[in-house]
Every structure is written in structure tokens, then in C-alpha cells.
Chain A
């Protein structure tokens, strides 16, 4: 067991637990999450409802796959996309000066959008990128091409 293995495992478990934890409250109270999504003023009422209905489930399933170590390539790529989207949403809200709650972990634990939240999301996105590269690099070497 080398250092790379442990780094990947820790990141995988970390993101797995984080995604499951973040999705749980949103799955239980999707309408509250829909309001939080609408507050970002990026999507309208209809899309905020669809986002609230399906995004937390995607987070949950991705978290489960990461924890179990099944379909790591797909799960780590989806995780990276999720973290990138969250970062973009938080960044645009901060730039536009929206005085809103993050809604990242559901309505139960509201956190205001600010420099700290932005830094947290940048860190998550960088770690997600690291995890994806850790998982994808050996696969690419083996296959010679990126199989997307």
C-alpha cells in the first residue's frame, strides 16, 4: 500500500461522506432546497424544482459509489463536475453581491456566501480534481487514450 493509494482512498471516502451528508437534508426537504437554488438567480422556478428533485439524489449516489469504490472513474468525474458547478454558483453569487444563504448542506445548516465559503469551494474543487486525476491517470496509461 503506497502513499498514492492512501491519498486516493482518503479523498474518495472524504468526498463520499461529504456528498452523502450534504445530500441527506436536501432529499428530506427538497422544497426548501428549491428556494435556496432559486435564490442564486441563475435558474428560474421550474429548473430550481427539477434541480431540487434530482441533484441531491445524484450527490447521494455519487457519494455511495465513491465510498464503495465502485465505478470510481465515473463517480470521481461526476464529483469533479459537481464541485466545479458549486464553485461557479458560489463565485457568481459572491461577485454579484447576493446576500443569500449557501444551501450547500440543506436548509438546516445555513451558511452565508462570502470569502470563506468561496475559499472552501475552491478547496473542494481542487481536491476533486486531484482525486479524479489520481483515479484517471493509471487508467489512461493502461488504455493509452481517454475513454470518454
Chain B
């Protein structure tokens, strides 16, 4: 076998072993995430500016979903937000079934540029949530505007 063919075989083995390793490893990258990264981002209508989100929050029309990790959420988060870490959502998408599909949701990460809420939004769409959107400015923008937050665990 030529060097080139051997490298090809090594590449195929790498793909197979990489997928298997991430499947077996509880801290591995979920396969779903690898596919979700290529899904298109939300359309402009699915991006809610912080001011609009705040008004909807005051009218109790929406529920915030914080997709950050446990530690970040534990420090502070938007008042009344539900905690659903993105990686946990990927591993157990059925946990979304505990939410009311007729309600409106706004997902957020810390930074406005983060793609994680977009991917979580795509995941929610695949599970039948039609009224979910992403906080345009992220939690950082929310804090800059002085909108309400709470510390520690969610009630």
C-alpha cells in the first residue's frame, strides 16, 4: 500500500474512532452539536433586543432560558430565568418536554456573539417550539442596561 493510501486509511480510522470516543466519553462532544454548528442562525425576527425583552418580561409574556454552564449561572442571571445548560440540552433534549410549547422563550448566553443560544434555539425548533428567540445583546448587554438580575440559584 502506498503512503497516500495509508494516510487515507488513517484518516478514516480517525473519523470512526473520534466519533466513537466522543460517544463513549460522558464529557465528549455530542454528535448532535457537530451537526447543529452548521445549521443556519436565527432570522432577524428571532432576535429580540434587550429593551423589548425587558418589556415582555415585565408583562410576564416570556420566560428566559439561560444556556450557560452551572458556575456562570450560579454567579448571576436574568431574574426568573430557567437554567438549561446547552451541553445538558444536547445530551438530554427530552428535558425540553418539561416546558410549555405554547409559551414564548428567550435564550441567552453571556456574550452577544455567542452561537450557543442559536444552536439551542435550533434544537428547540426540532422539538416543536415555535415561539422561541435569542436575546440579541446577550447577558452582557442586559447588565449594561441595568436590567434586573438575581444572584445564586434560580428560585
CB pair A45 B115 closer than 8 Å:
yes
CB pair B3 A53 closer than 8 Å:
no
Instruction: Count A-side interface residues using an 8 Å CB cutoff.
Output: 27
Question: What are the residues of chain A within 8 A of B4 when measuring CB–CB?
Answer: 147-148
Interface residues of chain A: helix, strand, loop or mixed (majority): helix
Given contacts A27-B21, A45-B37, A148-B2, contact A78 B7 (CB under 8 A): yes
Given contacts A46-B37, A73-B3, contact A28 B15 (CB under 8 A): no
Question: What are the residues of chain A within 8 A of B38 when measuring CB–CB?
Answer: 46
Would you give the shortest CB distance from B65 to chain A, in whole angstroms? 20
CB pair B6 A71 closer than 8 Å:
yes
B10 at the interface (CB under 8 A from A): yes
A57 at the interface (CB under 8 A from B): yes
Bound together, the chains give a CA A79 to CA B133 distance in angstroms of 45
Given contacts A45-B37, A46-B37, A61-B13, contact A53 B29 (CB under 8 A): yes
Question: What are the residues of chain B within 8 A of A30 when measuring CB–CB?
Answer: 22, 25, 27-29
Bound together, the chains give a CA A13 to CA B58 distance in angstroms of 65
Question: What are the residues of chain B within 8 A of A58 when measuring CB–CB?
Answer: 10-11, 14, 18
Bound together, the chains give a CA A54 to CA B13 distance in angstroms of 10
CB pair A74 B14 closer than 8 Å:
no
Question: What are the residues of chain A within 8 A of B2 when measuring CB–CB?
Answer: 147-148
Question: What are the residues of chain B within 8 A of A65 when measuring CB–CB?
Answer: 10
Binary B-proximity of A105-142 (CB < 8 A = 1, otherwise 0): 00000000000000000000000000000000000000
Would you give the shortest CB distance from A51 to chain B, in whole angstroms? 10
Would you give the shortest CB distance from B72 to chain A, in whole angstroms? 14
Would you give the shortest CB distance from A50 to chain B, in whole angstroms? 7
CB pair A57 B6 closer than 8 Å:
no
Question: What are 30 contact pairs spanning A and B, CB under 8 A?
Answer: A27-B21, A29-B27, A30-B25, A30-B29, A31-B27, A45-B115, A49-B29, A49-B34, A49-B37, A52-B29, A53-B22, A53-B28, A54-B15, A54-B18, A57-B14, A57-B21, A58-B11, A58-B14, A60-B17, A61-B10, A61-B13, A61-B14, A62-B10, A65-B10, A71-B10, A74-B7, A74-B10, A77-B7, A148-B2, A148-B3
Residues of A within 8 A of B (CB): 27-31, 34, 45-46, 49-50, 52-54, 57-58, 60-62, 65, 71, 73-75, 77-78, 147-148
